[in-house]
Structure 1
Amino acid sequence: MDLEQLFYQNKEQSLQERNINLDSIEPILRKLNTNNQLEIIGNSVLGMPIYKYQIGSGKIKILLWSQMHGNESTTTKALFDLLNLINNGSELAKKIQSKFTLCCIPMLNPDGALLYTRENANKIDLNRDSQNLSQPESIVLRAIFESFKPDFCYNLHDQRSIFGVGNTGKPATLSFLAPSYNKACDINESRLRAINLISGINDFLQQYIPGQVGRFDDSFNINCIGDTFQSLGVPTILFEAGHFKNDYLRNETRKFVFLAYLSSLNIIDENDIVANKIDKYLSIPQNKVVFYDFIFKNIKINYDGIEIITNFAAQYKEELIEGKICFNAYIIKIGEVDDFFGHFEYDGKGASFKNDFGLFPEINQKADFYLDNHLKIVNGLMIS
């Protein structure tokens, strides 16, 4: 079976942008609601509905929630791709529905999605509210967890383009974590099942993105929802969708998330999570902050008549402008960058810097400038 082709056949074409809000997904949910699988389970701070979509009749129950952080939409898009597959009437779809019951909350934080922010409308990070349960969205998720009684939990997120796979120079296109259930980061039966599942997913993904899977830090924080659910005895997996080369809209990464979802179902169905795979899990390199979006090396700058050769880095800032996400590059580091990689790297070979403000870069300036007066850089990218 060509799984990549399966992705393209079931890809939800209406979801292409980084900013996915409630208006984006409600028509799709209505289309998929062929047998009363859709239910409003609560409301956000601003009164927007929080939807649950449940499908399947199998004994293995999986709770999946996405956009707990409103500006993290890649796993949401891949979730709808998966739901399209499960609803397409194929033999694979029938098998999944017979083996599993999937309870999906595709957008836990619709207010944050609308505003394109990590937090909810009260400026609370829902992934730090699992104990206080101070927010309506947190209460909704906990109520579904307790009523559904899942066998597995999938906590679905995006991570920034700054993360790499250790010091390999490869971006962390996907990262995973079996959260800790106590401060000692011990491994009990529940966490081991999550560890074994991640090990299997990683083995599968190496066929498609070799060396581009990372492992998230497992420091314990009971206020995080994954740590809480793990501590309550339910194997929980953190999915983090990250950067793939030249894929700032994350549509390639989305494909790999879809493949990770599918592989996880196959691994669980085959009960390939009973062996001890701790060593394989720990062999997945940890995420590390080692990337800038742009690195410019060996650039000549002029400070008050004194010429020096230096380096600087720029990073995209995602800015919501008239309903669209704009990637605007700003200078964020000047000087030593030897311990970092750039998704785009330029060696100026001593070329002179000049922009509208002078002969040297400054922190928080837009990455718009000239090198030797003829090479033009706009928004970090060379255009002439």
Structure 2
Amino acid sequence: MKDAIYNNFKVHEVIGRYLTNDSISGFITSLDKRFAISVIGKSVENKPIKCITFGEGPIRILMWSQMHGNESTTTKAAMDFLNFFSLPSEESGRCFQNCTIKIIPILNPDGAAAYTRVNANEIDLNRDAQDQTQPESVALKTCFDAFKPHYCYNLHDQRTIYNVGKTNKPATVSFLAPAFDEERSMSASRNASMQLIAGMNETLQQTIPGQVGRYDDSFNPNCVGDSFQMTNTPTILFEAGHFSKDYAREKTRKFIFIALKTSIDIIISNKILDYSVQDYNDIPENGKQFYDVIIKNAGIIDKSLSIEDSIGILFREILHENEIYFEPEIVNKSLEAFDFFGHKVVDCKKKKDVEWLTNNGITNLLR
């Protein structure tokens, strides 16, 4: 999909990494009456957990985003998805006729406001599926039980550390068909999850070849995706990752949007059987070989190191005055550089690279 086409329905007022209920309120309230906005619960701090429902078809699809409050890319993509289907077209008409879709854009509004993974009680909602100790967990499960979806989409962000397989390609989008038991057995619902992922991957390969990964499928019944898969409901984990020079994840939101739209087309057209479990297994599993910055020959500046030593730096995301800043942090001073990749690689032998380190506040970390 060309950017010029995508820009026609990208929700331009919903941008950046810091998204709260207020960030999306203007857009969702502007949707026409075919999109019903409801409040399915309240957070620990009494913020509303909103849900948008549209369509009148028999196929029921439930999506939720920002279960982790600091994972907002999929929320942006969900807004673009809503906007696309709000516009008159043959595709949107087919969706309304065949599907009923519920989207919970921000399940964890307290965590979103604080820009934290956890909720206000410092609980990871994606480890609360069984105990249901938090009001946000109860809201999602109550919605699930009442709606009885045929498909569930669990929408997340992942860190910049992930690469695809053993390649130097970032895992810009990753998927998982969650397991439903320790043995990671197969079932009709898990098969369907895998086949739908394979279909989305086929489309994404045309846009970001080699940049789609498969997430680890270790079983944890306390994770919501695994829990819902245990009910024989096909459930898919979406992970929005890094694209080159896109720390705001404005590019990645497009690829998540493409995946969402593709999945609806596959479901409506009954094309899931066009894809196989093997197609899913052929997607390389994610590695963890990326640093945000690799500094080569770091000993030229950091006298505690040998001249040719390399350093690995990761950025910490810091909320300040409603903006997200990326603060460099040294996490590896004995890096075997050939075993890792950098989203940016600098060499202390090069004057322009040392200037870049200085301008980005990294040089001071090395002295």
Q: Deviations over 1:215-255 (max 9, x none)?
A: 00000000000000001010000000000000000000000
Q: Sort the Cα spacing of 1:266 and 1:312 in 2 relative to 1 into closer, same or farther, 3 A.
A: same
Q: Which residue of 2 aligns with 1:355?
A: none
Q: Which residue of 2 aligns with 1:378?
A: 359
Q: Which residue of 2 aligns with 1:227?
A: 226
Contact 2:164 2:170 in 1 (8 A): yes
Q: State the distance in 2 between where 1:214 and 1:305 align.
A: 37
Alignment of 1:197-276 (within 5 A): 197-274=196-273
TM (normalized to structure 1)?
0.90
TM (normalized to structure 2)?
0.94
Q: State the distance in 2 between where 1:4 and 1:304 align.
A: 47
Alignment of 1:350-361 (within 5 A): none
Contact 1:328 1:379 in 2 (8 A): no
Task: Report the secondary structure of 1:333's partner residue.
Answer: strand
CA offset at residue 300 of structure 1? 2.8
Unaligned runs of 5+ in 2: none
Q: Which residue of 2 aligns with 1:325?
A: 324
CA offset at residue 378 of structure 1? 2.7
Q: Which residue of 2 aligns with 1:64?
A: 63
> Structure 2: which amino acid aligns with 1:213?
V
Alignment of 1:165 onto 2:164:
yes
> Structure 1: which amino acid aligns with 2:127?
R
Contact 1:74 1:250 in 2 (8 A): yes
CA offset at residue 304 of structure 1? 7.5
Contact 2:299 2:305 in 1 (8 A): no
Q: Sort the Cα spacing of 1:173 and 1:329 in 2 relative to 1 into closer, same or farther, 3 A.
A: same
Q: State the distance in 2 between where 1:181 and 1:26 align.
A: 36
Q: Which residue of 2 aligns with 1:346?
A: 346
Q: State the distance in 2 between where 1:58 and 1:285 align.
A: 35
Contact 1:112 1:121 in 2 (8 A): yes
Q: State the distance in 2 between where 1:279 and 1:254 align.
A: 27
Whose Rg is larger? 1
Specify which structure has the higher proportion of helix.
2
> Structure 2: which amino acid aligns with 1:21?
T
The two structures, once aligned, show a CA RMSD in angstroms of 2.1
Q: Which residue of 1 aligns with 2:190?
A: 191
Q: Which residue of 2 aligns with 1:44?
A: 43
Q: State the distance in 1 between where 2:302 and 2:28 align.
A: 58
Q: Which residue of 1 aligns with 2:311?
A: 312
> Structure 2: which amino acid aligns with 1:192?
N
Q: State the distance in 2 between where 1:376 and 1:220 align.
A: 41
Q: State the distance in 2 between where 1:306 and 1:245 align.
A: 29
Q: Deviations over 1:62-108 (max 9, x none)?
A: 00000000000000001010101111122222121111110110110
Contact 1:67 1:106 in 2 (8 A): yes
Q: State the distance in 2 between where 1:321 and 1:265 align.
A: 38
Contact 1:166 1:288 in 2 (8 A): yes
> Structure 2: which amino acid aligns with 1:17?
G
Unaligned runs of 5+ in 1: 352-368
* Identical amino acids, percent of aligned pairs: 46
Contact 1:242 1:253 in 2 (8 A): yes
Q: Sort the Cα spacing of 1:170 and 1:287 in 2 relative to 1 into closer, same or farther, 3 A.
A: same
Q: Sort the Cα spacing of 1:376 and 1:103 in 2 relative to 1 into closer, same or farther, 3 A.
A: closer
Task: Report the secondary structure of 1:79's partner residue.
Answer: helix
Q: State the distance in 1 between where 2:192 and 2:303 align.
A: 62
Specify which structure has the higher proportion of strand.
1
Q: State the distance in 1 between where 2:70 and 2:256 align.
A: 17
Q: State the distance in 2 between where 1:156 and 1:375 align.
A: 35
Q: Sort the Cα spacing of 1:93 and 1:345 in 2 relative to 1 into closer, same or farther, 3 A.
A: same
> Structure 2: which amino acid aligns with 1:169?
N
Contact 1:294 1:380 in 2 (8 A): no
Q: Sort the Cα spacing of 1:189 and 1:380 in 2 relative to 1 into closer, same or farther, 3 A.
A: farther
Contact 2:161 2:290 in 1 (8 A): yes
CA offset at residue 7 of structure 1? 2.1
Q: State the distance in 1 between where 2:303 and 2:254 align.
A: 51
Q: State the distance in 2 between where 1:148 and 1:120 align.
A: 24
Alignment of 1:9 onto 2:8:
yes
> Structure 2: which amino acid aligns with 1:137?
E
> Structure 2: which amino acid aligns with 1:205?
L
Q: Which residue of 2 aligns with 1:150?
A: 149
Contact 1:165 1:287 in 2 (8 A): yes
Q: Sort the Cα spacing of 1:170 and 1:302 in 2 relative to 1 into closer, same or farther, 3 A.
A: closer
Task: Report the secondary structure of 2:260's partner residue.
Answer: helix
Q: State the distance in 2 between where 1:5 and 1:236 align.
A: 32
Contact 1:298 1:350 in 2 (8 A): no
Q: Sort the Cα spacing of 1:375 and 1:324 in 2 relative to 1 into closer, same or farther, 3 A.
A: closer
CA offset at residue 5 of structure 1? 4.1
Q: Deviations over 1:46-67 (max 9, x none)?
A: 0000011100011111000000
> Structure 2: which amino acid aligns with 1:379?
N
> Structure 2: which amino acid aligns with 1:193?
A
Q: State the distance in 2 between where 1:31 and 1:54 align.
A: 14
Q: Sort the Cα spacing of 1:122 and 1:65 in 2 relative to 1 into closer, same or farther, 3 A.
A: same
Q: State the distance in 1 between where 2:303 and 2:156 align.
A: 46
> Structure 2: which amino acid aligns with 1:342?
G
